[in-house]
Structure 1
C-alpha cells in the first residue's frame, strides 16, 4: 500500500541546548508524508457477518515540513529569526502490527461493510512510534450474482486517526544552514504530528480467479491519496 497525505506538525521540542539558549520556539509551515507498507494479514470469519484479523508488516517512508522561524533568548536577550526556510525531514522506517474487524451484510447483489483496525508502528531509524486507528465503510455491488463476471466493485470512505511522536538527534537532520550551528551538535528533537485531514474517498474492486484466489485493489483520492493491491488466498 502507498499513501501520500498532508500532516500537521503540532510541536517541535529541543533538548540538550547550551545553557545560554532559553525558551526556543520553532514555527513550521506545511507538512507532507509519504509511506509504503508491505503487510501480511490472517483473518477468519467467525460468523457470516463478522470477521477478525491480525496484521503485521514493514513500513518505509518519510515526513517533511519547513521551519519558517525561530524565537527565544540568547544570553538573556530576545532573538527572533524569520524566513529560515529550512527543511525538516524525518525518515520513517519500522515494523507494523495490529488487529481489526469487519462487519458485513448484504441483500441480493448489494453489500455493505465496515472495516475497523488499530495498528502500531515501532520505528527503527529514529526513536518513536505511530499509533493508527482506521475505519473504512464501503458499499458495493456483486456482479457475479447475475452475470458471468466474477467481479465485485465498491465505493466508500476512510477515516484515519494517527498520532506520531518522533525523536532523534538534530545533527542527523538535513537542516541546511542551520546544521552548521555548533550549539545544535548535542541537541535532540521531539516532534508531535498528526494528519491534516482525517477522511478521504475510496473506490475499489475485487476479481475472483477461483473461489480460493482473489485479487483486490483500491484507490483513495481527495486530501489523502492511496493505492493498494492484495492477493487473497482463502480456504
Structure 2
C-alpha cells in the first residue's frame, strides 16, 4: 500500500512538473512572439523575414536628444576682404579696401549644440533620420596685414586684426545609417559594422553667414549582454567637412591702444582644416524592450569632439 502511494505521488509530481515546464515554455514563446511581432508602423520592410532568420531587430521608430561640443581649426579658402573707414586703415576718412592673402589668416572655432533627431529603420539594414538643432559658437580670426594690398596696390601694415565672432545658429539636416553584422565563430559576439552620412545647413542669427556641414563615419565593434540591457563598444573613423562664409562688421577697432578703424567690414570663406578623425563610442540599450538608449562618443586625433545622447524608441 505504501509502495503504491509512493508511486502515485511520484507520477503526480512528474505530471505537475511537465505541465509547469510546458506552461513556462509556452509563456516564453509567447513573450518572444510579442516582442517580434510586426511594428505598428509596418517597418522595417522585410523585418519579419529577418526575425525568422534569428536576428534581433531594434524598435523601428525613435527620437533622441544629442549634445555636441567641439573645437575645430579652420583655414581661409579665399582672400580675406576688408573695407575700413576712419582710423589708421581708413586714412583721411576715406573708405579703403584691403585684401589679405588666405595664408595670412588663422581661424579657430568652438561650437556647442543641441540636436533633436527623429529616425526610422526603413529596412533592417537602413536607417533614415532628420535633425533640427541649435548651436552657440565662436570664431577667433587673426588677419595678418603684413602682405595686404590696399585698393589694389601693395600696402603692408605691421599689424594683426583680431576678430572674435560669437553667434547662434539654427540648423536642419538629414542623414542615413547602413548597418550589418558578421558572425565570426561560435562563442564570439558578432562584429557590428555601421556606415553613416549626414548633411546639415545652419543659419546664424548674429552674423551674415551660413554653415554647411558634411559628416561621414565608419564604426566597427561588438555588442555585449550587460545588466539590464546591452552595451555596444565601437571604434570609428570620422569624416567632417565644415564650410562657412563669414561676413560682418566691427566698430571702433582698437589694437594696442591704436584706433585701426572707426568701422571695419569683413568677408571670408572658410573650411575646416582637417577632415579625418578617430572616435570611440559606447551605446547602452536598456528597458523591457530595450526602448531606451544612452550614447557617448569621443573624437580625437585632429580635433576634439564629445557627443552625449539619450534616445527613446516606440
Tell whether the structures are fold-level matches, with TM greater than 0.5. yes
Which position in structure 2 is the counterpart of 1:94?
Answer: 169
Deviation of 1:67 (Å): 2.1
Which position in structure 2 is the counterpart of 1:126?
Answer: 207
Which position in structure 2 is the counterpart of 1:161?
Answer: 241
Separation (CA, whole Å) in 2 of partners of 1:93 and 1:180: 28
Separation (CA, whole Å) in 1 of partners of 2:245 and 2:170: 15
Q: Does 1:214 align with 2:293?
A: yes
Deviation of 1:89 (Å): 1.8
Q: Does 1:225 align with 2:304?
A: yes
Q: Does 1:105 align with 2:194?
A: no
Q: Deviations over 1:56-102 (max 9, x none)?
A: 0101111113222243347x9853212x2332222231101110000
Deviation of 1:31 (Å): 2.2
Q: Which runs of 5+ in 1 are unaligned?
A: none
Which position in structure 2 is the counterpart of 1:81?
Answer: 157
Which position in structure 2 is the counterpart of 1:50?
Answer: 126
Pairwise CA RMSD:
2.5
Which position in structure 2 is the counterpart of 1:59?
Answer: 135
The alpha-carbon distance between structure 1 residues 155 and 31, as it changes in their structure 2 partners (threshold 3 A), is same
Separation (CA, whole Å) in 2 of partners of 1:220 and 1:4: 11
Q: Tell me whether 90-99 or 220-229 shows the greater mean CA deviation.
A: 90-99
Separation (CA, whole Å) in 2 of partners of 1:88 and 1:56: 29
Q: Which runs of 5+ in 2 are unaligned?
A: 1-67, 184-189
Is the Cα contact below 8 Å between 1:86 and 1:175 reproduced in 2? no
TM score, norm. by length of structure 2: 0.66
Separation (CA, whole Å) in 2 of partners of 1:78 and 1:54: 49
Question: Which has the greater radius of gyration?
Answer: 2
Higher helix share: 2
Secondary structure of 2:247's aligned partner: strand
The alpha-carbon distance between structure 1 residues 104 and 228, as it changes in their structure 2 partners (threshold 3 A), is same
Is the Cα contact below 8 Å between 1:67 and 1:85 reproduced in 2? yes
Higher strand share: 1
Separation (CA, whole Å) in 2 of partners of 1:107 and 1:150: 18
